[in-house]
A and B are shown apart, each in its own frame.
Chain A
Amino acid sequence: MITRVGNWIGKHLMLTLGILVLLYMYIPNFIVALMSFNDSSESRNLYQFQSFTWDNWLNPCDPQGMCESLRVSISIGLLATLAATIIGTLAAFALVRHRFEGRSTMNLVLFLPMATPEIVMGSSLLALFVAAGFGGQLGFWTVLIAHIMFCISFVVVTVRSRLAGLDSNLEKAASDLYANEWQTFWRITFPLVFPGILSAALLAFSLSFDDFIITNLNSGTTVTFPMFVWGAAQRGVPMQVNVIGTLMFLLALGIVIGGEVLNRRRAKGKASAF
């Protein structure tokens, strides 16, 4: 039996390694999902599975302040995504489509926030807000401003690569076919760049939703979801956090699978044409 398994592994080394890597990556998610069904009421040891219960899923907002922090995180995430996507997309168009003075400097300046350690960026922002006289008003709006700032860079990079890969002859063809600048943009350029804008927006949302360091330094008394989890972890994470974690994981999984299914369907259409 053991030699049989050994043989199989020998023959399928790549597959075995692949499975191991996937396990390594996804075991934490499985643990989170499992723990979301953990009944922790009987025990102080929160990191051990006691018994199965639906309670956590039925009353996700039980822990005090958790759902409020989630609501704050989602609002900041959506607003930051909206603003960063608009500004970043416009910047990407400017950088790809126009040759202007300071263009290469601009490229560098946009790249820097991605390379800067968050702790440095967070404390600089705090210093800036305090120096500007907003020391007393740290909260939702300062966090939002900070998130928009670091999301812009990622949006620019994502949209720019999509735009750079776009054949500029398509726009020339549109204008050759009687479309003015406005029609060319809305009928040709925008639909073709849209997937890039969409993935930039998804990236921006997850970056904003996830951020702890910069947020923590600039939030005043406002509490976002990552901050709530961090704070709760000092005493023991409520099981409902696992419910939120599992939901977020399923949502991300759904988006990825949905995208893949769409792609497959497109590829299938391509194949059946011949």
Chain B
Amino acid sequence: MSLADQARGDLKLAGLHKRYPNGFVAVESLDLVIPQGSFFALLGPSGCGKTTTLRMVAGLEEATQGTIHIGEQDITHAKPYKRPVNTVFQNYALFPHLTIAENVAFGPKRRGSKDPAQEVKEILALTELTEQANKKPAQLSGGQQQRVALARAIINRPDVLLLDEPLGALDLKLRRAMQVELKRIQEEVGLTFVHVTHDQEEAMTMADTVAVMNKGRIEQMGAPYDLYTNPQTTFVANFLGRSNLIKGTVVGREGTGADAVVKVDMHGTIATIKASKVHTDSDHGWVGIRPEKVLIQPEGQTIDAPGAALSGAVVVDASYIGVSTDYTLRMPWGQEITCFEQNTGRRGGLIPVGTKVDVSWRPEFAFLLDSSQDAEAGLEED
């Protein structure tokens, strides 16, 4: 193991704060540890501070307060070119007057590498760009340019690789292919990847750990599965996938340890929620349930779920999208909730609009959020 390898370590942000001269606070006392070698995603809507955070790590933006460490090394105020960090820019920022090989060799040459040509050859092979070596960036397709940007960064074997919406400029199909590609390369080179994106699917597909950011703060951080199944705030519940949030009142707490549950009265029906998925201390809350966990049956037929059934809902819209059908249901108290039903063929058709249905879900899928939070937080504005 070389000295450089030993020097590597976790990326640690402590109390990181960014306030712009006009008073706008982009990042608010952020504490974050990103373990060495992990694929970490910062997910949030535009303006949430994720890109500013990235730029502070890269040194392109000066932190107002707080520190940035890689391992033991404090890089908070280091010049960008003195940091063991490289960035893949959103628009790639390839040097238009240099060939692909020259673009990729730019970093190694500045660092005084002994054999830049050999390094370039290896990295171009890894990113499948060998045939493009002598072309100019403008001669490549979007996906190829993206790979050049990646090659140009990883050739330097930085301690941390920062990716700023790296796939944002690509069309959907290419984006999916590049997600797989990026993940493969990350596993192959074993560097720490910090990936900034507003695309929740992209974050969940690629990252080991996802941090959901909102208004300069991290709302919640964890593995994609945990974030999705157990969101702690209405923002996360709505931004990461979709959620039905139904107003409820806590009427009792039962059991202990792993079996502990909270009973919640939702407009007259009692729902049971596992204590580990309850994120409020107050007596009022939002009962959350993901649309694909909602089961429906025309009134009177049995539902295959042990939970409490809500009756009196009416189908107000059914949109068939092949693999599944999205139902919009109006509940007796006027709220509309969504249900995604897999088209397994069991039902043998759609439930017509206007049909009265019963609604239920397995209790372990529900979560309870604090009622002081905005039920609309994190919804797409358009």
A and B are interacting partners? yes
Contacts of A183 in B (CB 8 A): 110
Given known contacts A172-B80, A173-B87, A178 and B136 CB-to-CB distance under 8 angstroms: no
Question: Does A273 lie within 8 Å of B135, measured CB to CB?
Answer: yes
Cβ of B372 < 8 Å from any Cβ of A?
A: no
Cβ of A270 < 8 Å from any Cβ of B?
A: yes
21 A-B pairs with CB atoms under 8 Å apart are A169-B89, A169-B91, A172-B80, A173-B93, A176-B80, A176-B81, A176-B86, A176-B87, A177-B86, A177-B106, A177-B156, A178-B110, A178-B156, A179-B110, A180-B79, A187-B106, A188-B95, A269-B139, A270-B138, A273-B135, A273-B140
Contacts of B153 in A (CB 8 A): 177
Contacts of B80 in A (CB 8 A): 172, 175-176
Given known contacts A176-B87, A177-B152, A170 and B139 CB-to-CB distance under 8 angstroms: no
For B, the interface residue count at a CB cutoff of 8 angstroms equals 29
Question: Does B89 lie within 8 Å of A180, measured CB to CB?
Answer: no
Question: Does B91 lie within 8 Å of A179, measured CB to CB?
Answer: no
Contacts of B106 in A (CB 8 A): 174, 177, 179, 187
Question: Does A178 lie within 8 Å of B93, measured CB to CB?
Answer: no
A274 to B106, alpha carbons, bound, how many Å?
26
The 4 closest A-B pairs by CB, nearest first: A273-B139, A178-B110, A173-B93, A169-B93
Cβ of A192 < 8 Å from any Cβ of B?
A: yes
Listed residue (A173, A174, A183) with the most chain B CB atoms within 10 angstroms of its CB: A173
Q: Mark B136-163, 1 if CB is under 8 A from A, else 0.
A: 1011110000000000110010000000
A183 to B140, alpha carbons, bound, how many Å?
26
A264 to B369, alpha carbons, bound, how many Å?
63
Cβ of A167 < 8 Å from any Cβ of B?
A: yes
Question: Does A192 lie within 8 Å of B93, measured CB to CB?
Answer: no
Q: Closest A-chain residue to B60, C-beta based?
A: A172
A143 to B161, alpha carbons, bound, how many Å?
57
Question: Does A269 lie within 8 Å of B93, measured CB to CB?
Answer: no
Question: Does B135 lie within 8 Å of A176, measured CB to CB?
Answer: no
Q: Closest B-chain residue to A272, C-beta based?
A: B139
Cβ of B37 < 8 Å from any Cβ of A?
A: no
Cβ of B58 < 8 Å from any Cβ of A?
A: yes
Question: Does B81 lie within 8 Å of A175, measured CB to CB?
Answer: yes
Separation in Å of the A22 CB from the closest CB of chain B?
A: 32
Question: Does A192 lie within 8 Å of B156, measured CB to CB?
Answer: no
Cβ of A191 < 8 Å from any Cβ of B?
A: yes
Separation in Å of the B297 CB from the closest CB of chain A?
A: 55
Segment 296-327 of B: residues with Cβ below 8 Å from A: none
Q: Closest A-chain residue to B83, C-beta based?
A: A176
Question: Does B139 lie within 8 Å of A270, measured CB to CB?
Answer: yes
Cβ of B107 < 8 Å from any Cβ of A?
A: yes
Cβ of B347 < 8 Å from any Cβ of A?
A: no
Separation in Å of the B164 CB from the closest CB of chain A?
A: 10
